[in-house]
């Protein structure tokens, strides 16, 4: 069973727009929620991560919003640029464990 | 980008071959991971080594055999693979016991089984 559900599967956004990717989880023991960015031919790279003691974390144009009661978290990319075109993965894990449970990924295309 | 390296980057092998994938991390981490990435599927954790001991093995077929000789190196030995094993194999490392479990990935080995 998939522990982290991610949507949408693909997303097209115009340059300067806001890209929004959503994830939902079931296991309330999860306490670490990273987002990874993957370009073709490369491995996933850690973009930003959040723990459930805060509802939002911002790093530059990237923001994670976290809703503990709804068991949902999302990635917002402000002022999206063509260079942001990549596949984005959300993940969740327990602090006591090793496994990162990944979503299926969202393929983002930012058009000029 | 160069914190975790993987060789080879591409590998084509027949079902009767034996080959090995190599991973090296230069980050001083104490845990290393093998993941399988297939199209339209989530990344699948295969094996975890912490302090050079295997701590997780997620029901991976025995035709995949990991080896961790020290904290910087990880191998995945392959034999009698099936075409459905064709995928991108990713290695990752992390520092367990620290403030978080940030995993850093290598570029992957694109494996094709013919």
Q: Quick: pLDDT tens for B89-114.
A: 999 999 876 555 789 999 999 999 99
pLDDT at A100: 87
**pLDDT value for A9:** 95
B7 interface with A at CB cutoff 8 Å: no
Peptide bond preceding A71 in cis form (omega within 30 of 0): no
Q: Which three-class secondary structure state does DSSP give residue A84?
A: helix
- Contact between B105 and A44 under an 8 Å Cβ cutoff? The reply is yes
Q: Collapse the DSSP code of A83 into the 3-class scheme (helix H, G, I; strand E, B; otherwise coil) and give the result.
A: helix
How many angstroms separate the CA of residue A3 from the nearest CA in chain B?
Answer: 10
* pLDDT for the residue A96: 62
Give me the pLDDT at residue B55, please.
77
Residues 22-41 of A with CB under 8 A from B: 32, 34, 36, 41
Q: Would you call the peptide bond into B15 cis, given omega within 30 degrees of 0 as the criterion?
A: no
For each successive 10 residues of chain A (112 residues), what is the average pLDDT?
90 98 94 93 92 92 95 97 97 79 95 94
Specify whether the backbone of B40 is left (phi greater than 0), alpha (psi in -120 to 50) or beta: left
pLDDT computed for residue B100 by the predictor: 58
For B53-62, give one letter per residue: b (16+ CB within 10 A) or e. eeeeeeebee
The secondary structure element, H or E, covering residue A22 is strand A19-25
- Over the stretch B32-68, which tens digit does the pLDDT of each residue have? 999 999 987 888 999 999 877 777 777 899 999 999 9
Instruction: Supply φ then ψ for residue B85, to 5 degrees.
Output: -80, -5
Is-contact B72 B7, C-beta < 8 A?
A: no
Q: Do A44 and B101 touch (CB under 8 A)?
A: no
Which positions in chain B touch A45 (Cβ < 8 Å)? 105
> What six digits make up the tokens of A39?
């370009």
DSSP, residue by residue, B73-107? EEEEEEES--GGG-EEEEEEEE-TTSS----EE--
């Amino acid at each position: 069973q998939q522990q982290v559900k991610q949507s949408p599967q693909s997303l097209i956004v115009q340059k300067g727009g806001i890209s929004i990717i959503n994830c939902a989880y079931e296991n309330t023991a999860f306490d670490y929620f990273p987002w990874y960015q993957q370009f073709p031919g490369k491995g996933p790279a850690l973009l930003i991560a959040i723990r459930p003691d805060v509802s939002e974390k911002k790093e530059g144009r990237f923001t994670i919003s976290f809703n503990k009661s709804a068991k949902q978290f999302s990635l917002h990319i402000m002022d999206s640029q063509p260079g942001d075109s990549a596949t984005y993965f959300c993940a969740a894990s327990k602090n006591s464990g090793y496994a990162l449970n990944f979503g299926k990924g969202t393929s983002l295309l930012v058009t000029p | 980008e160069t914190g975790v390296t993987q060789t080879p980057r591409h590998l084509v092998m027949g079902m009767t071959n034996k080959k090995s994938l190599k991973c090296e991390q230069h980050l001083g981490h104490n845990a290393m991971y093998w993941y399988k990435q297939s199209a339209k599927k989530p990344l699948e954790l295969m094996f975890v080594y912490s302090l050079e001991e295997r701590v997780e093995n997620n029901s991976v077929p025995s035709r995949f055999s990991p080896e961790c000789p020290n904290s910087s190196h990880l191998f995945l030995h392959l034999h009698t693979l099936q075409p459905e094993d064709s995928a991108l194999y990713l290695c990752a490392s992390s520092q367990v016991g620290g403030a978080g479990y940030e995993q850093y990935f290598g570029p992957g080995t694109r494996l094709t089984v013919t």
